[in-house]
Structure 1
């Protein structure tokens, strides 16, 4: 369990420092994962915020007990203040680079507020002019990228299934129902989908698509939101069979030739055609005249 907790802490810390946190809303539990902070300082930040109100700027964090200059340098870039006194406080640009950004704005004869988020102005900046012994080109590129989309969340949009409010338990399921669910597991024989009834349903490999599927992992993945149709329910055994084939019929693979289904001929038509054929053969025999003389052959 200690190793599991250690791994979990590492993942949370990595996520927090990559996304950043709103210092005026974050809890003590979340703040302790920010680079340079610990549980004690996180508690001090929350207490100071409760006593003095929201932080107006990153610089105001230096008033928090236990948060000295060194720790401030480590944590400042990850603590965001969306409606602070300085617009850069809502970005991942570190305070020690604020002067550099101000110089960029002055170069373009504009203000910070007008520069931030303005792609045209930002892309017109001559990056080489601002390279120095302390700041290299990669750092400048990172700063400009952040200025273009300040406070952006690097995480992809989280999608979740919208469960049917009328379907709460397995007994509420009816064959033919179309529901939304989330893929919870993918196996060699199909995929399990959570449809909100406390029991995952199975979409067999043959029901994943209107085409041949050799590997379910090529069609679905864990966490994917899918629409499924209920095809069978066994309440006693708690088994739910689902299908992702929502169309009316199977679709043909690309490049496949279409096959027309021939209609079986009627038996009366067959008898009539056979009779006509037989009569035609008799007529041919009656009118047939051989080109050779049989008597000459006998000689």
Structure 2
């Protein structure tokens, strides 16, 4: 197509690249043939007008917090930027830059009721999260996207130790 354009108008390729006035004066219908249709011709002219343009949207990446590189660097209440890596029926996993994804439970995705997490987030989304809880030994990170949500106090989820089974058995009733 480009060869046909330069031959028809007796110009060099360098003379037509980024030459807006010349390229807008072209009639794309004049270059349609068995191999190239109207849309393809228009795409070629657009590329000649702005060579090297990338039609994809701007690629955004999360900015991981400096100094937070491993699970043990995390502290409750930290607000971090991350990328959704997986969406499940119980929540979403978020890469926050510590080589271990954290979980945002379905109840912590938003202030509204969520039946399906994929209605709120999708893989690749960049999100702000707050660290709720960190279990370094089990490599578990609990996160929330509700930034006003407060972390659970330490040992809030742990049950009090149960008494020894022997102590739990009732002494036989005396007559």
Per the alignment, residue 243 of structure 1 pairs with 144
Report the Cα offset of residue 178 of structure 1: 0.7
Aligned equivalent of 2:25: 124
Partner residue, 2:58: 157
| Number of equivalences | 149
TM-score (normalizing by structure 2)? 0.70
Gaps of 5+ in 1: 1-96, 249-299
Q: CA deviation at 1:219?
A: 1.2
State the Cα distance separating 1:114 from its structure 2 match.
5.3
CA pair 125-162 structure 1, distance change in 2 beyond 3 A: same
How many angstroms apart in 1 are the aligned matches of 2:137 and 2:109?
A: 25
Tell me: CA distance 1:229–1:129, structure 2 relative to 1, closer, same or farther (3 Å). Answer: same
Q: Relative to structure 1, is the Cα distance of residues 104 and 182 closer, same or farther in structure 2, using a 3 angstrom cutoff?
A: farther
RMSD: 2.7
Which protein has greater RCO, CA pairs closer than 8 Å, 6+ apart? 2
Q: In the alignment, which residue of structure 1 is the partner of 2:81?
A: 180
What is residue 129 of structure 2 aligned with on the other side?
A: 228
Match of 2:162 in 1: none
Match for residue 219 of structure 1 among 104, 109, 120: 120
Name the counterpart of 1:146. 47
Change (3 A) 1:130 1:161: closer
Instruction: State the TM-score, normalized to the length of structure 1.
Output: 0.43
- Structure 2: 5+ residue stretches without partners: 150-175
Q: 1:120 to 1:207 in 2, by over 3 A?
A: farther
Q: Report the Cα distance in structure 2 between the residues aligned to 1:187 and 1:152, rounded to whole angstroms.
A: 36
- The 2-side partners of 1:133 and 1:212 are apart by 55
Task: Give SS of 1:147's match.
Answer: helix
CA distance in 2: counterparts of 1:172 and 1:186, whole angstroms? 25
Question: Is it true that 1:102 corresponds to 2:3 in the alignment?
Answer: no
Give CA deviations for 1:177-228 in whole Å, capped at 9, x if unaligned.
0111111111111001111222211101111113222211011111222111
Q: Deviations over 1:1-29 (max 9, x none)?
A: xxxxxxxxxxxxxxxxxxxxxxxxxxxxx
Name the CA shift for 1:102/1:244 in 2 (closer, same or farther; >3 Å): same
Q: Distance in 2 between matches of 1:147 and 1:240?
A: 50
Secondary structure, in 3 states, of the residue corresponding to 2:45?
A: helix
Q: 1:119: Cα distance to partner?
A: 4.5
| Bigger Rg, structure 1 or 2 | 1
Q: Describe the SS at the equivalent of 2:141.
A: strand
